[in-house]
């Protein structure tokens, strides 16, 4: 019968977050996953909006009341940022899948472009929304 390994012969642990120094691309990968989860739950709001529009004016006015208060706008702004960030993160991964952007300076540039681009696109969408629709 095989014996359990002694502590001196125990196998080493795999490296994990407490071993590695956090890099921006590592953090953006984690944020990409978090925004994916946020988009999943944000679809509940989108489904609520679509169903209320199909049901009639009273349910739709409830959704509009939610969307027009400060809390609702904050959630919608966060949803917009998650959508833009996740979109640009997906494009970054597509560039990597094609085989480009693996050099350290290219990787950092793509990461910063994702971060800054997600914020810029979110602000642009909301500015256009305020100018065109009058949110």
**pLDDT tens column, 14-68:** 666 667 778 888 889 889 999 999 999 999 999 999 999 999 999 999 999 999 9
**Is 86 labelled a binding residue?**
yes
Pull the structure tokens for residue 49: 């909006």
Distances (CA, A) of 19 to 13, 15, 31, 77, 90: 10, 6, 19, 35, 27
How far is it, in rounded angstroms, from Cα 34 to Cα 86?
Answer: 9
Q: At what angle do helices 24-55 and 57-68 cross, to 10 degrees?
A: 150
**In the predicted model, what is the mean pLDDT of the chain?**
89
66: tokens are 């939610």
Any idea of the CA torsion for 38, 128, 132, 56, to the nearest 10 degrees?
0
* 3-state class (DSSP) for residue 16: coil
Task: Say if residue 1's pLDDT is above 60.
Answer: no
- CA-nearest of 100, 114, 106 to 31 is 114
**Distance between the two ends of the chain, CA-based, in angstroms?**
72
pTM of the model: 0.80
Which one is the CATH code of 23-133: 1.20.1300.10, 1.20.1090.10, 3.30.420.40, 3.40.50.300? 1.20.1300.10
User: What single-letter DSSP state applies at residue 15?
Assistant: P
DSSP summary character for residue 134: -
């Amino acid at each position: 019968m095989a014996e359990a390994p002694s502590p001196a012969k125990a196998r080493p642990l795999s490296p994990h977050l407490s071993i590695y120094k956090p890099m921006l691309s590592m953090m953006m990968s984690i944020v990409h996953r978090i925004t994916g989860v946020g988009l999943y739950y944000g679809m509940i709001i989108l489904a609520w909006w679509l169903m209320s529009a199909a049901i009639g004016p009273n349910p739709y006015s409830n959704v509009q009341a939610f969307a027009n208060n400060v809390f609702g706008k904050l959630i919608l702004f966060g949803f917009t940022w998650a959508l833009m960030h996740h979109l640009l993160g997906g494009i970054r991964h597509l560039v990597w899948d094609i085989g480009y952007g693996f050099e350290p300076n290219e990787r950092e540039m793509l990461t910063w472009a994702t971060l800054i681009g997600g914020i810029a696109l979110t602000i642009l969408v909301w500015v256009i929304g305020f100018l065109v629709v009058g949110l």
